[in-house]
A = this chain, B = another copy of it.
Amino acid sequence: MHASKFFISTLKEAPSDAEVVSHKLMTRAGMIRKLAGGIYNYMPLGLRVIRKIEAIIRDEMNRAGAIELLMPLIQPAELWQETGRWDKMGPEMLRVKDRHDRDFIIQPTSEEVVTDIARAEIHSWRQLPKNFYHIQTKFRDERRPRFGVMRGREFTMKDAYSFDRDDEAAGRSYDIMFDAYMRIFRRLGLEFRAVAADTGAIGGSRSHEFQVIADTGEDLIAWCPDSDYAANIELAQASALIAERAAPAQALAKAPTPGTVRCEDVAALLALPLDRTVKSIVLATDKEGKTELWLLMLRGDHELNEVKASKLAGLKEGFRFATEAEIFEHFGCKPGYLGPVGLKKPVHVIADLTVANMSDFVTGANEVDAHLTGVNWGRDLQEPEAVADLRNVVEGDPSPDGKGRLSIQRGIEVGHVFFLGTKYSEAMNCTYLDETGKPRTMVMGCYGIGVTRLVGAAIEQNHDERGIIWPQSIAPFEVVICPVGWSKSEQVRETATRLYAELTAAGFDVMLDDRDERPGVMFADWELIGVPHRITVGERGLKEGVIEYQNRRDAAAQKVAPDAVRALLGEPA
């Protein structure tokens, strides 16, 4: 490609609403232009990256035996009513009426449509397994679209759906997709982790997220450098940090703690380590008109994991944080000084694994400006109603597989594989006949990759103060040739054109910048755009028989003979 035939439109300034580096750089590099909140034009440079990502995904999906089709963007409400998602999905799902006043949705995913296809087309066990996928536009009407293409409203997703005869076969399909995803993200040239994830609202029993590692990621990943354990922090199992409860050594005492509500401040005031304090979090459930309160106890340096809380007996069906009035009624005190000792009304007390083994600890006294010290289970209060893993793991926690200690990293979720089971196939009566002629419900999996989000994630991971640094496999161009004095020097033109032809013939995706700009302008543009390899051809160098080569990650250019540059580029993607 010649720059004069392409469209390059870099900007000095990032848009004022850009909160993250990928949004800023994609806009400045001319990859995207905002059309409306969360809706972007993909400019020629941006589209090239998307197409390269799609090609890698398609290649590996096909290799894994998945079959590409294309399901419509606009889907009839009836199918979504069959599974109940018409009612369950909130305002994120965009609904539209056609001219005949019929209800449609603009697809956020395609479980319903693909299950409708499977029940119509697959009749026999002989046709299984099948895995259908498409790479298609999606729409989710985010309340607050942000982070550029990372949380847009209109975006491109690859979504695949597997159909199997039973759980075991579906597990194999899951494993095949898991392996395909590993190959995809490796080929994309990104640092990533496959982490065990919560199965959440979709249901199902097995789930992995593929997280691109980036400091700006919204997800926290717990992983073990000494084993292959990795999990989203929502799921990562925390253990008791105290193996056995020690016998009480202190007497129960009340300490004045005026205006001191945070565990950190209480510990400082009382000159105790933070890990001797216990925080009290009060949740409420409303069942059959009856409100019950739940006191969750965590060590002062730990944080509540709401996903774990939502799996507890009694809280499974939904909970909320208790109101101040409810707290006052049960504890006789306002938040900040709460504790499990001497409750006025019945409250379910649940202790985190670590708290359950603590002794001589500090809690609120259920009295303003006061805490209790030397609190001990059994002696000062009943044993907790339940003991459970309630907290987020932290850096240095033992790995649940017993093979070392956990590290915590931030990640951006770009892929998800999910064992769905029969959630959709049962609701939509998607069955096949087994060898004995008996109808059986198909077992499903679903597998998504956020194509446009990947563009943003790749940049969040790979950039510097000058701009983007693309992995070669998804760079809009792999090599840029910058001729200095394009219009003036025949020698420069000839060398640049010859190199362009040679490298293109060698399979590289090459850009020749024939805009006749000054070197500074060209260099700034291509460093912003993030092309991995830059070759500069100038008259002065040619007199000495050299051109300049600079890798995007290099600090400076090196002089090489024109024929030596090929060897510096490695292999084309």
Contact string against B for A residues 110-150, beta-carbon threshold 8 Å, 1 for contact and 0 otherwise: 00010011001100000000101000010101010000000
Interface centre among A9, A36, A72, A76 (most CB of B within 10 A): A72
Judge whether B41 and A71 touch: CB under 8 Å.
Answer: yes
B7 touches A76 (CB 8 A): no
Residues of B within 8 A of A98 (CB): 94, 141, 153
Q: How far is the CB of A358 from the nearest CB of chain B, in Å?
A: 46
Stretch at the interface among A62-70, A166-174, A294-302: A62-70
A279→B188 CA distance, assembly (Å): 71
Q: Which of A42-50, A253-261, A396-404, A454-462 contacts B (4 or more CB under 8 A)?
A: A42-50
Q: Are A39 and B120 in contact (CB under 8 A)?
A: no
Whose C-beta in chain B lies nearest to the C-beta of A35? B72
Bitwise, A90-121 to B at CB < 8 A (1) or not (0) is 01101110110010101000000100110011
Which residues in B have their C-beta under 8 angstroms from that of A76? 35-36, 39
Say whether A154 faces chain B, with CB atoms less than 8 Å apart: yes
Q: Knowing A94-B96, A99-B141, say if A44 contacts B68 (CB, 8 Å).
A: yes
Pair B40/A72 contact, Cβ less than 8 Å: yes
In the assembly, what is the distance between CA of A141 and CA of B104, in Å? 12
The CA-CA distance from A5 to B129 in the complex, in Å, is 10
How far does the alpha carbon of A91 sit from the alpha carbon of B65 in the complex, in Å? 42
Tell whether A559 is near chain B: CB-to-CB under 8 Å.
Answer: no
A143–B102 alpha-carbon span in the complex (Å) = 12
Please determine whether B91 and A96 come into contact, CB atoms closer than 8 angstroms.
Answer: no
Residues of B within 8 A of A39 (CB): 72, 74-76
Q: Which residue from B69, B74, B113 sits with its C-beta under 8 Å from A44?
A: B69
Task: Give chain B residues whose Cβ lies under 8 Å from the Cβ of A92.
Answer: 99
Does A151 lie at the interface of the complex (its beta carbon under 8 Å from any beta carbon of B)?
no
Task: Pick from A5, A74, A113 the residue with the most CB of B within 10 Å.
Answer: A74
| A6 contacts partner chain B, Cβ-Cβ < 8 Å | yes
Tell me if A73 is interfacial: C-beta within 8 Å of chain B: yes
Given A36-B104, A47-B69, A99-B143: 14 more A-B contacts, CB < 8 Å: A7-B121, A7-B130, A35-B71, A36-B72, A36-B74, A36-B76, A36-B102, A41-B69, A73-B137, A74-B139, A74-B154, A92-B99, A94-B98, A98-B141
Residue numbers in B under 8 Å from A121 (CB-CB): 7, 9, 33
Question: Across the interface, which residues of B come within 8 angstroms of A99, CB to CB?
Answer: 91-92, 141, 143
Given contacts A73-B137, A120-B33, A141-B98, contact A67 B154 (CB under 8 A): no
A67–B36 touching, CB < 8 Å = no
Residues of A within 8 A of B (CB): 5-7, 9, 33, 35-36, 39-44, 46-47, 50, 65, 67-76, 91-92, 94-96, 98-99, 102, 104, 106, 113, 116-117, 120-121, 130, 132, 137, 139, 141, 143, 153-154
B72 touches A117 (CB 8 A): no
Listed by A's residue number, 24 A-B pairs whose Cβ atoms lie within 8 Å are A6-B67, A7-B67, A7-B121, A33-B117, A36-B76, A39-B72, A41-B69, A41-B72, A41-B117, A42-B69, A42-B71, A43-B69, A44-B69, A47-B70, A50-B70, A72-B154, A73-B154, A74-B153, A94-B98, A95-B96, A96-B96, A96-B106, A98-B141, A99-B141
Q: Which among B5, B73, B116 is the interface contact of A65 at CB below 8 angstroms?
A: B5
Do B67 and A42 touch (CB < 8 A)?
A: no
- How distant is A151 from chain B, measured CB to nearest CB, in Å? 15
Q: How far is the CA of A50 from the CA of B70 in the complex (A)?
A: 10
Which B residues are CB-close (under 8 A) to A67? 5-7, 44
Q: How far is the CA of A73 from the CA of B39 in the complex (A)?
A: 9
Cβ-closest 4 pairs across A and B: A42-B70, A91-B99, A36-B76, A96-B96
Bound complex: CA A69 to CA B32 (Å): 10
Which residues of the partner chain B approach A96 to less than 8 Å between Cβ atoms? 94-96, 106
Question: Which single residue of chain B is at the shortest CB-CB distance from A91?
Answer: B99
Kindly provide the distance from the CB of A475 to the nearest chain B CB, expressed in whole angstroms: 17
The residue in chain B whose Cβ has the minimal distance to the Cβ of A95 is B96
On chain B, the residues within 8 Å of A94 by CB distance are: 74, 96, 98
**CA–CA, A265 and B535, complex, Å:** 83
- Please give, as numbers and ranges, the residues of chain B lying within 8 Å of A91 by CB-CB distance: 99
